[in-house]
A and B are shown apart, each in its own frame.
Chain A
Amino acid sequence: MKKHSLTPRTVESVKTVALAVLVLASVLLSTLLWTGTPGRVAIDRPTFFSSPLYGRRQAAGDFVFPRSIGIWTSANELFRLGGTSATAGQIITALRQSRFVSGALQKGTTGNSSAIPARGPYLVLNYGGLLQDGSLWSLAMPIQGHLPSVPVSGPVYVVPKPKTATCVISFATVGGVYRAVLEHVPQLLFTDMTPNDQAIPYEQIPVNQTLLHLPYAGIMMQVDTWTLAEPISSHIIDSYFVDPSLIQNIRGPARSTFYTDGTRGVRVQDGPFGNVLTYQAPSGSLGGFNQSMAEALLTVVPFIDSHGGFVGSDVLQKMSVSPSSSEVNLQFSDMINGWPLFGSLDRITVRLQNGGVVRLNRNLPYLGMELSQVRQRILSGTQLVAVVGEKTLRQVTNITLGYGTIASNQLTVECVPVYRLEFRGRPSLYVDARTGKPFLGSGM
Chain B
Amino acid sequence: MDFGRVKTLLIVVFLALNLFLGYQWRGLQQSVSIYAEPYADQVANLQRTFSAHNVTLKVSVPQAQPSLFLLRVQTNPGQFLTAAATALAIKPQLASEYLRGSSEVKTREGRFGMNGNGQYRLYIHPRYQPRIPNGRNGLAFVRKWMAKHVIDYGSYELISWKMSGGGGVASFAEVYDGYPIFSAPLRVYMEHGRITGYFQTVLAITGALDQRPVIGAASALLALAVFVDKAHINMDNTIQSVRLGYDSRIVLGHIWYVAPVWQVDSSRGVFEINAFTAETGVGAS
Contacts and interface: CB of A to CB of B under 8 A. Distances in A.
Interface of A: 8, 11-12, 15-16, 18-19, 22-23, 25-26, 29-30, 32-33, 36-38, 242-243, 245-246, 248, 250, 252, 258, 260-265, 280-289, 291, 295, 353-356
Q: Assign chain B's interface to a size class.
A: 35 or more
19 contacts: A19-B14, A22-B10, A25-B18, A248-B70, A248-B72, A262-B258, A262-B259, A263-B249, A263-B250, A263-B261, A263-B272, A263-B279, A264-B279, A265-B250, A282-B282, A283-B281, A284-B285, A286-B233, A289-B235
Closest 9 CB pairs of A and B: A262-B259, A355-B231, A29-B21, A22-B14, A282-B249, A282-B281, A284-B282, A242-B277, A265-B250
Interface stretch (B24-32, B107-115, B151-159, B163-171): B24-32
A258 B256 CA distance: 10
B282 A286 contact: yes
Contact of A261 (B3, B29, B70, B232): B70
Nearest to B274: A263
Secondary structure of the B side of the interface? Answer: mixed
Contacts of A245: 210
Contacts of A16: 7
A260 B231 contact: no
B209 interface: yes
A36 B28 contact: yes
Contacts of B231: 289, 354-356
Interface of B: 3-4, 7-8, 10-11, 14-15, 17-18, 21-22, 24-25, 28-29, 32, 70-72, 209-210, 230-233, 235, 248-250, 252-253, 255-259, 261, 268-270, 272, 274, 276-279, 281-285
B277 A26 contact: no
Contact of A15 (B8, B259, B281): B8
A147 to B, nearest CB: 24
B279 A248 contact: no
Given A25-B18, A26-B18, A246-B70, A38 B32 contact: yes
Given A36-B25, A355-B233, A260 B256 contact: yes
Nearest to A353: B282
B281 A261 contact: no
Contacts of A289: 231, 233, 235
A19 B233 contact: no
Given A263-B259, A282-B281, A289-B235, A36 B29 contact: yes
A138 B16 CA distance: 73
B148 to A, nearest CB: 34
A234 B3 CA distance: 69
Given A262-B274, A286-B269, A289-B231, A354 B282 contact: yes
Given A19-B7, A22-B15, A36-B28, A242 B279 contact: yes
Contacts of B284: 284
Contacts of B32: 36, 38
A15 B232 contact: no
B20 to A, nearest CB: 9
Given A248-B72, A355-B231, A356-B231, A18 B282 contact: no
B18 A287 contact: no
Contacts of B209: 248
A263 B282 contact: no
A252 B252 contact: yes
A291 B70 CA distance: 34
Contact of A26 (B14, B230, B232, B274): B14
Given A246-B277, A262-B257, A263-B281, A282 B11 contact: no
Contact of B249 (A37, A38, A248, A284): A284
B259 A261 contact: yes
A263 B248 contact: yes
Contact of A260 (B14, B230, B250): B250
Contact of B268 (A11, A19, A286, A295): A286
A84 to B, nearest CB: 32
Contacts of A353: 282
Contact of B276 (A19, A22, A243): A243
Given A280-B250, A281-B281, A355-B230, A15 B7 contact: yes
Contact of A287 (B14, B25, B258, B268): B268
Given A283-B282, A284-B269, A286-B269, A263 B7 contact: no
Contact of A30 (B21, B257, B281): B21
A282 B250 CA distance: 7
